[in-house]
């Protein structure tokens, strides 16, 4: 079941690829939000929200990857 979900094609690439890409982009944005919060250009709560989103995407990506091969 996980294999069919993980490798569901979206624009010619599997879902797991897109989740990995979104995870890394979310991580980069989280670091950028931390920098902006330090410079007082963005409230710290946005950094915290991005961190939670990053964690969610990374966990979903990891679970699909492990589920596809175990």
What would the 3-class secondary structure string for 49-63 be? HHHHHHHHHHHHHHH
Q: In this structure, how many other beta carbons lie within 10 angstroms of the beta carbon of residue 3? A: 12
Cβ(34)–Cβ(47) below 8 Å: yes
Question: Taking the model in full, what pTM does it have?
Answer: 0.85
**What's the pLDDT tens digit per position in 38-66?**
999 989 999 999 999 999 999 999 999 99
Q: What is the DSSP letter of 14?
A: E
Only one residue has tokens 């709560």, namely: 45
**What's the pLDDT tens digit per position in 5-51?**
888 999 999 999 999 999 999 999 999 999 999 999 989 999 999 99
**DSSP E strand stretches across the chain:** 9-10, 13-14
Give domain limits for the chain. Answer: 14-69
């Amino acid at each position: 079941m996980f294999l069919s979900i993980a490798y569901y094609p979206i624009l010619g690439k599997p879902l797991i690829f897109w989740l990995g890409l979104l995870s890394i982009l979310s991580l980069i944005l989280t670091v950028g939000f931390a920098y902006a919060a330090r410079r007082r250009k963005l409230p710290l709560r946005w950094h915290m929200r991005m961190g939670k989103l990053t964690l969610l995407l990374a966990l979903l990506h990891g679970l699909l990857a492990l589920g596809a091969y175990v």
